[in-house]
């Protein structure tokens, strides 16, 4: 504990914080057990073939019933696609000295499916501890900081400390598939205020230095190429949809990277990206020229560019290929999230979080941007200056997802340091 004893400023605050940080350290085994129990409950969205979050919400509510929080509220959002017809959200509160100031940690219960089981070395829904890591689907995304936030608040409550600001933890549903049953309706219920400090621990880097303040536009494209099917030995009688799609893919990628080539060092990578990804099967046999072909692109566009202009450029390129090949092109946007206004690197939440991270991890946090999407963008579009932070190896959505045990404990210490700030 010497590091924390030396670095935390303010005598009264220092004494409070020492006790809280020591208690969090002593909670390590309990935190591992709680996270392990959550892994056993696959809270997968009905959109992804699951049952939703009700069972995990029940477990969490039972877990925290004895934590002594000032208020625990469950907000159920109707969802006819769920077996329970609802999607649960949990709000945890600790009252602060200043009832007008609020700190929010926004975490999510839902997880993505396990994917190809052959790529897993362990059962994704049974916790396995190995080499100081805990393995399982959802441990990093978002179990690590869900547990960290709860135990940081518990430590403060058990120590009898009343923080300056109100502490609020939102444990939400549906983050992985659109937030229609989570953050979006909660914002509509006016739970948040414009000057609240809002932290979404759903992204980060290995050394815990990245505080994400901006995200690129996300534009997914489904490109359907329509030609004319014929025998493989007589291509002149048809229009090869697959060949036309390949020509379009090569041409559009080259044109997009050439035209939209601005660099912004806030982001990693610092450029817009336009990548072909998924490819659907066309004909089942080798000796038939396909009359239809479908592939997808994942475009992450810097906020400087109008995504509708980019989309028009894509369709214009398709028109040139259509004239050359005789094929037709149809486009859909399965996901389209224009970049939200960025949070200022000088915002109060950024400065306060920087101080807490540096005190615990002894590093140099910085404000940056990402190409991925988080529900922080939903807050920013609604006018709330939210940030994203956690210390992660970023195994989220991957096989053999894991979380470092020390990250669970130390992220909790970051939140406690933030909560105890005068």
pLDDT tens-digit map of 347-397: 999 999 999 999 999 999 999 999 888 889 999 999 999 999 999 999 999
pLDDT of residue 15: 82
Q: Is 14 found in the same domain as 126?
A: yes
pTM of the model: 0.86
Q: Is 175 found in the same domain as 88?
A: yes
Q: Is 190 found in the same domain as 294?
A: no
The domain boundary residue, chosen from 316, 337, 358? 337
Q: Is 222 found in the same domain as 284?
A: yes
Q: Is 11 found in the same domain as 58?
A: yes
The domain boundary residue, chosen from 303, 322, 337? 337
Q: Is 352 found in the same domain as 258?
A: no
The domain boundary residue, chosen from 277, 307, 337? 337
- Assign residue 322 the CATH number of its domain: 3.30.70.360
- Give pLDDT < 70 ranges for the chain: 1-13, 422
At 63-79, the pLDDT tens digits run: 999 999 999 999 999 99
Cβ count within 10 A of residue 311: 17
- Assign residue 35 the CATH number of its domain: 3.40.630.10
Active-site position among 53, 79, 140, 175? 175
Cβ count within 10 A of residue 267: 20
Q: Is 250 found in the same domain as 198?
A: no
Edge-to-edge strand list for the sheet holding 292-301? 273-279, 292-301, 217-226, 328-337
pLDDT of residue 322: 98
116 classed as catalytic = no
Q: Is 97 found in the same domain as 44?
A: yes
pLDDT of residue 1: 33
Q: Is 209 found in the same domain as 122?
A: yes
Q: Is 392 found in the same domain as 304?
A: no
Q: Is 285 found in the same domain as 361?
A: no
265 classed as catalytic = no
Beta-carbon contacts of 115 under 8 Å, excluding residues fewer than 6 positions away, are 397, 399
Active-site position among 53, 79, 110, 176? 110
Range of the domain at 116: 2-215+339-419
Q: Is 24 found in the same domain as 136?
A: yes
Structural domain count of the chain: 2
């Amino acid at each position: 504990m010497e590091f924390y004893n030396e670095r935390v400023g303010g005598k009264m605050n220092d004494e409070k914080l020492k006790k809280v940080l020591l208690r969090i350290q002593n909670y390590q085994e309990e935190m591992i057990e709680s996270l392990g129990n959550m892994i056993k409950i696959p809270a997968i969205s009905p959109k992804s073939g699951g049952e939703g979050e009700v069972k995990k919400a029940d477990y969490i509510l039972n877990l925290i019933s004895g934590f002594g929080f000032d208020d625990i509220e469950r907000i159920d959002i109707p969802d006819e696609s769920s077996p329970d017809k609802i999607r649960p959200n949990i709000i945890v509160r600790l009252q602060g000295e200043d009832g007008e100031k609020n700190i929010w940690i926004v975490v999510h219960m839902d997880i993505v499916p396990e994917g190809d089981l052959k790529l897993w070395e362990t059962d994704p829904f049974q916790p396995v501890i190995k080499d100081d890591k805990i393995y399982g689907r959802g441990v990093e995304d978002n179990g690590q900081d869900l547990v960290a936030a709860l135990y940081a608040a518990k430590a403060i409550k058990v120590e009898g400390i009343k923080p300056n600001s109100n502490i609020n933890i939102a444990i939400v549903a549906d983050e992985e598939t659109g937030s229609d049953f989570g953050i979006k309706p909660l914002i509509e219920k006016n739970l948040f205020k414009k000057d609240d400090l809002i932290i979404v621990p759903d992204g980060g880097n290995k050394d815990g230095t990245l505080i994400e303040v901006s995200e690129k536009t996300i534009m997914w494209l489904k490109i359907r190429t329509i030609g004319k099917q014929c025998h493989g030995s007589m291509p002149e009688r048809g229009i090869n949809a697959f060949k036309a799609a390949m020509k379009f893919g090569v041409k559009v990628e080259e044109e997009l990277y050439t035209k939209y080539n601005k660099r912004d060092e806030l982001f990693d990578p610092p450029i817009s990206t336009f990548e072909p990804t998924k490819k659907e099967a066309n004909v089942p046999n080798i000796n038939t020229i396909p009359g239809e072909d479908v592939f997808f692109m994942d475009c992450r566009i810097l906020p400087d560019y109008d995504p509708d202009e980019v989309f028009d450029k894509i369709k214009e390129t398709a028109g040139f290929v259509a004239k050359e090949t005789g094929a037709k092109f149809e486009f859909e946007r399965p996901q389209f999230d224009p970049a939200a206004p960025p949070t200022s690197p000088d915002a109060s939440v950024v400065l306060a979080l920087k101080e807490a991270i540096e005190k615990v991890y002894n590093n140099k946090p910085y404000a940056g941007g990402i190409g991925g999407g988080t529900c922080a963008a939903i807050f920013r579009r609604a006018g709330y200056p939210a940030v994203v932070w956690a210390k992660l190896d970023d195994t989220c959505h991957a096989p053999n997802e894991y979380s470092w045990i020390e990250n669970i404990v130390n992220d909790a210490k970051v939140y406690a340091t933030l909560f105890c700030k005068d």
